[in-house]
């Protein structure tokens, strides 16, 4: 039996059951949950970085977005509030649309 020891989406046990397979799960405590969300975010980010096509990239971005939703909920903030904070930062410091690549800054 393969050992996974990782956070999975909520419907994975249901999907495994429909395949007629047995499995073991447990519910994570808060500290473990946050750690596993962060681990999963790194995993999905790496998968995005390794994606070979636009379709794969978009799929991985959707996975990252799902994790952002879970992390926002964990930190007791709504996605709307998160978006507001993002927009405020974009207003103050800009976004990344202009593709500016800073090479150096002269020290005085």
Is residue 57 within 8 Å of residue 51, measured between CB atoms?
A: yes
70 exposed, middle or buried (CB, 10 Å; 0-12, 13-18, 19+)? middle
Is residue 36 within 8 Å of residue 5, measured between CB atoms?
A: no
Contacts of 43 (CB under 8 A, 6+ apart): none
Residue 1 has pLDDT above 90, yes or no: no
Tokens representing 37?
Answer: 């969300």
9-36 residue pLDDT tens: 999 999 999 999 999 999 999 999 999 9
37-48 residue pLDDT tens: 999 999 999 999
Residue 108 has pLDDT above 90, yes or no: no
How far is the CA of 36 from the CAs of 6, 42, 74, 89, 92, in angstroms? 7, 10, 12, 27, 32
Question: What pLDDT is attached to residue 23?
Answer: 96
Q: What is the pTM of this model?
A: 0.89
Residue 74 has pLDDT above 90, yes or no: yes
């Amino acid at each position: 039996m393969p050992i996974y020891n990782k956070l999975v989406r909520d419907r994975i046990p249901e999907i495994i059951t429909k395949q007629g397979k047995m499995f073991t799960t447990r519910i994570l405590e808060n500290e473990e949950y946050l750690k596993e969300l962060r681990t999963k975010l790194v995993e999905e980010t790496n998968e995005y970085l390794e994606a070979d096509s636009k379709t794969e990239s978009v799929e991985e971005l959707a996975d990252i977005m799902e994790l952002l939703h879970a992390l926002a909920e964990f930190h007791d903030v709504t996605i709307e509030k998160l978006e507001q904070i993002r927009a405020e930062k974009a207003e103050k410091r800009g976004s990344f649309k202009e593709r500016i690549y800073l090479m150096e800054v002269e020290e005085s």
